[in-house]
Amino acid sequence: MLLVLAFGVAPIAAAAQVPAPRIVAADATPTDWLTYSGNYQSHRFSALTQINRQNVSQLKPAWIYQVRRTGIVETSPIVADGVMYITEPPSTVTALDVRSGRPLWTYTPSIPTDVIVIGSPPVNRGVAILDDTVFFGTVNGHLIALDARSGAVRWDVQVDDNKFGYYVTSAPLAIDGRIIVGVSGAEAGIRGFLDAYDPKTGRRVWRTHTVPAPGEPGSDTWSGDTWKTGGGSAWLTGSYDPALNLIYWGTGNPGPDWNGDLRPGDNLYTCSLIAISPVDGKMKWHFQFTPHDIHDWDANEIPVLFDATIDGRPRKLVAMANRNAFYYVLDRETGQFLSALPYAKQTWAERIDAKGRPVRRSGTAPSVEGTLVFPNIQGASNWPSPSYSPQTRLFYQAAREMGTYFFKGEPQYKPGEPFVAGGGRAVNGDDAWGAIRALESTTGRLKWEFKLVTPPMSGVLSTAGGLVFGGTDEGNFFALDAESGKPLWDTQLGGMIRANPMAFAVDGKEYVAIAAGYGIFVFGLP
């Protein structure tokens, strides 16, 4: 299998290196990793089988690349035709030779010293590739296109004004004729949106706000001028169904985070999944997981697309292990709610009703004296990716088991300053833990779990070799049996893992890669 596939790695003389149809067919060429989550369906699954249950215990480092500036390395590498494209904190792109780990080019944009990054560390989670161009966002709110072979700038546009707190950390999504990118900044009281740009010119084709203006659908869920600082950042990479021609993107918390008094109502389309046409940016449907959120439970987690039969009926589905601790399954053609089950401890909702709306428990709102609620402020999940294996039909999730004392504070908006009105104190240490959980993808029922001593901020990768790879804050990179959760291999990388694993192959050999500490680590069989 690998031998046959390896032909796909040979240099392609054609002008376009990674045309869109190649990304659509990403499952057929697992030697490459062409989009953030491996395929447009966001499975973060590798069909490679060379590293498998029988031999994974022999994994050895192939090469290590160390970034040149300290900071949290959250990058998820892209691999195309023998080149790995990574990002380094805060907004540098580097191309590496996958055979040796040696840099081929690097590009660092000029970032103003007074850049405003409120709501996350100044990180970058990866690039997108399309044709001969690499696309990435910056902490000062730009979207930049680089020539894939030289790193030269093709174009550089301002997505929005960083003076108001707009910035970009996520990998853009590259599809045919469109580069889709969302912004961060809800903790600064931005008005969120999703943008599409022309890959050739950088011209903005459309912008769809995640918070409606007065008169637009959903505007009745806001009062007064609160929509102007309504948040709803679209800060993580979404998914794409080429057949339905719909993009699926999660949206973040309303602003301010922990005091909802000024914004009574559901606050659409925050904490939602939105389905959008890439042609014109029109919203086909939306589903709000946490109406009127007051705990900062963004719904930016990766939407995972798969098909399955439910109640005897074949359906096109989208699933999300939401930050609010529930695993949701929706019909991705219509947005119809199908089911929700908690996949981690939660104390805020009595249940999810038949339409998918939570029935809140009383006494769970943030308060001046602090209110203990599960999940914690960073959620039962966050940006680290889940994985879906078409082999096991399981949804793998790194779950965070922790509570937070939530505080309510004063809402005070000043442009470019924190607009959060509260916060939290985590109940950490021995009172917190985590697990890699395998959920039945159509229901969220637990199949197995592997316990971790701290809540993880590392994503997972599943492979056709029957493995699930994951990482820990303590620096462990490990492989579990995808069927049983039994640990099969682990190693210590010497720094926190706050990144997503991925796999690729070159010269007929499979490798798995993950960032840890200040480096990218690549492992293969001896």
State which residue, 327 or 407, has the beta carbon closest to other proteins. 407
What is the contact mask toward other proteins in residues 184 to 203, using x (rule: CB under 8 A)? ---x----------------
**The only residue of 37, 239, 472, 500 in contact with other proteins, by rule CB under 8 A:** 472
Distance of alpha carbon 80 from alpha carbon 130, whole angstroms? 10
Quick check: 241 binds other proteins (CB under 8 A)?
no
From residue 351, give the alpha-carbon distance in Å to each of 339, 354, 355: 11, 10, 11
Q: What is the footprint of other proteins within residues 96-115 (CB under 8 A)? A: 114-115
Quick check: 235 binds other proteins (CB under 8 A)?
no
Quick check: 311 binds other proteins (CB under 8 A)?
no
Distance of alpha carbon 45 from alpha carbon 391, whole angstroms? 10
Residue of 511, 507, 509, 506 whose CA lies nearest to 521: 511
Size of the site for other proteins (CB under 8 A): 46
Phi and psi angles of residue 376, each rounded to the nearest 5 degrees, phi first = -75, 180
Q: Name residue 66's beta-bridge partners.
A: 519
User: Dihedral through CA 389, CA 79, CA 143, CA 495, nearest 10?
Assistant: 80
Q: For 334, which DSSP code?
A: T
**The only residue of 11, 354, 410, 526 in contact with other proteins, by rule CB under 8 A:** 410
**The only residue of 75, 169, 324, 476 in contact with other proteins, by rule CB under 8 A:** 476
Quick check: 488 binds other proteins (CB under 8 A)?
no
Quick check: 367 binds other proteins (CB under 8 A)?
yes
**The only residue of 291, 475, 495, 519 in contact with other proteins, by rule CB under 8 A:** 475
**The only residue of 67, 84, 118, 168 in contact with other proteins, by rule CB under 8 A:** 118
State which residue, 404 or 442, has the beta carbon closest to other proteins. 404
Q: How far is the CB of 376 from other proteins (least distance, A)?
A: 12
Phi and psi angles of residue 186, each rounded to the nearest 5 degrees, phi first = -60, -30
Question: Of 36-44, 91-99, 261-269, 362-370, which part binds other proteins (CB under 8 A)?
Answer: 362-370
Tokens of 315: 């359906």
Q: How far is the CB of 378 from other proteins (least distance, A)?
A: 13
Q: What is the footprint of other proteins within residues 370-399 (CB under 8 A)? A: 370
Quick check: 415 binds other proteins (CB under 8 A)?
no
Q: Do residues 125 and 137 lie in contact, with contact meaning Cβ atoms separated by under 8 Å?
A: no
Quick check: 76 binds other proteins (CB under 8 A)?
no
3-state secondary structure string across 425-488:
EEECHHHCEEEEEEEECCCCCEEEEEEECCCCCCCCEEECCCEEEEECCCCEEEEEECCCCCEE
Quick check: 452 binds other proteins (CB under 8 A)?
yes
What sign has the CA pseudo-torsion 362, 367, 372, 378? Answer: positive
Catalytic choice (195, 257, 266, 296): 296
State which residue, 90 or 101, has the beta carbon closest to other proteins. 90
Distance of alpha carbon 520 from alpha carbon 492, whole angstroms? 13
Distance of alpha carbon 212 from alpha carbon 347, whole angstroms? 31
Q: What is the footprint of other proteins within residues 2-21 (CB under 8 A)? A: none
State which residue, 18 or 118, has the beta carbon closest to other proteins. 118
Question: Of 47-55, 117-125, 236-244, 511-519, which part binds other proteins (CB under 8 A)?
Answer: 117-125
DSSP string, 351-397: EE-TTS-EEEPTT-S-BSS-EEESS-TT-SS-SS--EEETTTTEEEE
State which residue, 45 or 407, has the beta carbon closest to other proteins. 407
Quick check: 133 binds other proteins (CB under 8 A)?
no
State which residue, 457 or 464, has the beta carbon closest to other proteins. 457
State which residue, 390 or 409, has the beta carbon closest to other proteins. 409
**The only residue of 136, 222, 285, 450 in contact with other proteins, by rule CB under 8 A:** 450
State which residue, 42 or 476, has the beta carbon closest to other proteins. 476
Tokens of 177: 């004729």
Residue of 19, 32, 17 whose CA lies nearest to 175: 19
Q: For 400, which DSSP code?
A: E
What is the contact mask toward other proteins in residues 145 to 184, using x (rule: CB under 8 A)? ----------------------------------------
Q: Under 8 Å CB-to-CB from 403, ≥6 apart: which residues?
A: 345, 347, 372, 373, 374, 375, 376, 426, 427, 431, 432
Residue 104's Cβ-count burial label (10 Å; 0-12, 13-18, 19+) is middle
331 catalytic? Reply is no
**The only residue of 442, 454, 458, 462 in contact with other proteins, by rule CB under 8 A:** 454
Quick check: 418 binds other proteins (CB under 8 A)?
yes
User: Dihedral through CA 321, CA 37, CA 295, CA 432, nearest 10?
Assistant: 70
Q: Do residues 511 and 62 lie in contact, with contact meaning Cβ atoms separated by under 8 Å?
A: yes
**The only residue of 379, 422, 465, 485 in contact with other proteins, by rule CB under 8 A:** 422
Distance of alpha carbon 415 from alpha carbon 243, whole angstroms? 42
Q: Do residues 270 and 232 lie in contact, with contact meaning Cβ atoms separated by under 8 Å?
A: yes
State which residue, 61 or 112, has the beta carbon closest to other proteins. 112
State which residue, 367 or 484, has the beta carbon closest to other proteins. 367
Quick check: 354 binds other proteins (CB under 8 A)?
no
Quick check: 409 binds other proteins (CB under 8 A)?
yes
Interface with other proteins by CB under 8 A: which residues? 114-118, 121-122, 187, 367-370, 405, 407, 409-410, 412, 414, 417-418, 420-426, 428-432, 450-454, 472-476, 478, 487, 490, 492
Enumerate the active-site residues.
296
